[in-house]
Amino acid sequence: MGDRRAFASLYDATSAKLFGICLRVLKDRTEAEDVLQDIYIKIWRNAGQYRVNGLSPMTWLITIARNAAIDRLRRRRALSGGGDEIDAQADPAPGPEALAMAASDSARLNGCLAELEETHAQAVRGAYLDGDTYADLAARFDVPLNTMRTWLRRSLLKLRECLAR
């Protein structure tokens, strides 16, 4: 039963953050609640793998949540025949708690994103938070898909170099 108690504490400590991520990605409360369940089931099942994957605990949880939410979003888009409008809207302004959390690490990433061309930085954010595919991005920036990919790969390299500094 110790495992279950630990799991409940983990849920208490992290579910609001992960639910926030689901809501941000899916923008639909019912779907977000559904995906949140899947996320914690995945966490329970994969806890044994955590130690070998080399990620910090919060990163591991955030990544599971983000990936599950994006998967759901893409399935929804596929079902609706790809007619889902691309949400190019800016993120809502972060509240005080998020701002407090967005301390040094986040500043480093944002600093490095700022070194990229504005549209490329938007593309990286769009892929991570809105599940944009190369096809979505190519359509949004009105360039051929291969061009989009070449751009983004070069930007990722620049970003990597900056982050490694």
Partner 1 sequence: MSDELPERDADKALAGEYALGLLSPDEALAFEARLASDPDLRALYADWVEDLARLADRIDPVAPPPQAFGAIAARLFGQQQQTRRGAGKGMGWLTALFGGLAATALVVGLIIGVGLMPRGPEYPKDPAYVAELVAEDRSLILFAAYDAGNGTLFVERERGDPAQGRDLELWLVAGSDAPVSLGVLPQDRATVIDVPDALRSRLDGAALAVSDEPPGGSPTGAPTGAVLAVGQITNT
Nearer to partner 1, 49 or 81 (CB): 49
Which of the residues 101 through 160 are near partner 1 (CB under 8 A)?
101-103, 105-106, 108-110, 124-125, 127-129, 131, 133-134, 146, 149-150, 152-154, 156-157, 159-160
Query: Smallest distance, Å, CB 83 to partner 1?
Result: 20
* Cβ burial, residue 74 (10 Å; 0-12/13-18/19+): middle
**Interacting residues with partner 1 between 75 and 94 (CB under 8 A):** 91, 94
Which residues neighbour 70 within 8 Å (Cβ) at sequence distance 6 or greater? 25, 131
The three-class DSSP label of residue 102 is coil
Considering beta carbons, is residue 51 or 81 the nearer one to partner 1? 51
Q: Count of alpha carbons within 13 Å of 131, Cβ hemisphere only?
A: 25
CA distance 102 to 10: 21
H/E run at residue 153: helix 145-164
Cβ atoms within 10 Å of 3's Cβ, excluding its own: 9
Between residues 3 and 142, which has the closer beta carbon with respect to partner 1? 3
Binding to partner 1 by CB under 8 A, coded x per residue (else -) over 29-68, reads ----x--xx--xx--xxxxxxxx-xxxxxxxxxxx--xx-
Binder among 76, 87, 98, 140 for partner 1 (CB under 8 A): 98
- The minimum distance between CB 40 and partner 1, in angstroms, equals 5
Q: How far, in Å, CA of 163 to CA of 111, rounded?
A: 9
Using the minimum distance from each CB to partner 1, give the nearer residue, 80 or 161: 161
Applying CB under 8 A, the site for partner 1 has a residue count of: 83
